[in-house]
Structure formats: C-alpha cells, structure tokens
Structure 1
C-alpha cells in the first residue's frame, strides 16, 4: 500500500490511508522456537482438557518440566485463538414472549422507605457450577430486605424472598426488577 518511491512522503501516505507512521515500519517478530514448542504442547493439552484455562495449563506444563508463567500461557492461548470451554451462567437472556415494561423510575425522586424496592439475581461461581443469589432491596435505605440462594434458576427462591420482604416490611409503592434476570423492568405493585 505504501510506496517509499512515490512522490508523496511516507508520512503523508500514512496520513491519507489513516494509519500510524510507526505501523509502516513495523515488522512482526517471528515466534521463537521455545514458544512454538510451548504452543504445540498447549494445543495438545487443550484438546485433552478443553476446560483448562491458563492457570490449569500452566500447572500441567510445569508438571512436564516447562518453566512458564500463567500470563505467558494466557498470551499464547490468545495468540492461538483458544480459550477454556466451560458452562457459563445464562442469566441475561430474557424468556421469549416476555413483555418489556417501560422503565418508570428514570426521573422519579426516591425520598422515603418502602417507596421503591428492587430485586436482582446474581451468580456465585463454585467448583462445579454456580449458586444463584436473589436479593430484595429498599432503594431509599439501601437495606437488604430479604435474600435467598439456590443451586438452580427456578423461580421458587425468588418468590420466597419477595414473600418474606412483603411479610416483614409491608407493600412498597413500586417494585423494580432487572429486565435481564426476571423479565420486567418496572412494575407497580
């Protein structure tokens, strides 16, 4: 693209093409023999243990006598385009057919307790899978009114948390939920 023999200077050609002048002179360094050997072994280990990330692979490589750090393994994995395969939580997909409610709280001043409650679900990664935590909060006081944990994303533990909050603290004027977890953005109770 850049022609050093052209009438325009290399700097001007780089500006016209919208690239940095430094990139014109850059020549990629070849991969060292040691890294090629390491990448070959990482590839073999990844095929055998597709769930292994850079930490586990570094440990496996250390057992085989390779002296390599985790960050170097992560860099080589990125260069090779491989990543650990494992089950990720699926909490952000709304259920098909769920109605999207308008966000009613955008400019609402929250000035007293029990005016607006919020509920959200988060996940806590464990050795095998996830634990899910549902919490009901009062937006004014920032207090957790009720919470539950579960090993599944069934609705029961969320309903139990809401029922406990209602029993202990009465009924709020508004109950806000995150549209990514339960399916509604705001509802008037």
Structure 2
C-alpha cells in the first residue's frame, strides 16, 4: 500500500501555536474559547475557534481548572463503620443504598 506523506502544519499555524504556548503560560486556565478571543484580539486576523481548539489539541495544551470534589476522604466526620458486615441479606428491599455526598449540607 502507498500512503501520502502528511504535509505538517503551515507557517501561519506554527506562529499561532507559538502564541498559544505563550498565552497558555500567562493564563493556564484559558481554554479554547478564551484563547480564541486572545488570539483574535492580538493578531487582528480572522481565526476560527475550531482551528484554535485543534491546534491546542495537537500541542497537548489543556485548560487547568479545579476539579469538582464530591467526597473528601477522611473529612471532618471521619470514616463511618460498615453496618452491613455480617448481616444476612435474604429478601428483596431488606437493605437499600443511596449516595448523597454531592448534596451540600452546610
């Protein structure tokens, strides 16, 4: 089989990638939308957001943001005992379970 050789990125895209890298160092929390706005403002050229998104993906650049923490291991209340250990469960609806850790209590 014969495959064509990939042409690589254009010179204009390489310049954009350099700017994306510099802007990402200045503001690591900027995703493709904010990066797109920064680039349009700084270059004055028409650049598409999908193009910026693709270049960021090629470079491996991702926005840094705090992840949602639904549970805090060993938090203020500690670890609760497992009350079902040793219990003989032999019929339907004898034991029920729910996870409400995502609901704020205070």
- TM superposition score normalised by structure 1: 0.42
Counterpart of 2:19 in structure 1 is 41
Report deviation, 1:31: 0.6
Match of 1:34, SS state, is helix
Report deviation, 1:35: 0.7
1:89 aligns with 2:68: yes
Report deviation, 1:121: 3.1
- Of 46, 49, 60, 2:38 maps to 60
CA 1:71–1:118: 2 relative to 1, 3 Å: same
Point out the structure with the larger strand share.
1
Give the Cα–Cα distance (whole angstroms) in 2 for the partners of residues 99 and 117 of structure 1: 14
Give CA-to-partner distance per residue, 1:150-178, whole Å, 9 cap, x none: xxxxxxx17xxxxxxxxxxxxxxxxxxxx
Give the Cα–Cα distance (whole angstroms) in 2 for the partners of residues 93 and 66 of structure 1: 46
Q: How well do the aligned residues superpose, as a CA RMSD in angstroms?
A: 3.5
**Structure 1 residue ranges without an equivalent (≥5):** 1-20, 123-133, 135-148, 150-156, 159-189
Contact 2:17 2:55 (8 Å CA) reproduced: yes
Within-5 A mapping of 1:105-116: 109-110=92-93, 116=96
**Structure 2 residue ranges without an equivalent (≥5):** none
Aligned residues: 99
- TM superposition score normalised by structure 2: 0.68
Contact 2:71 2:101 (8 Å CA) reproduced: no
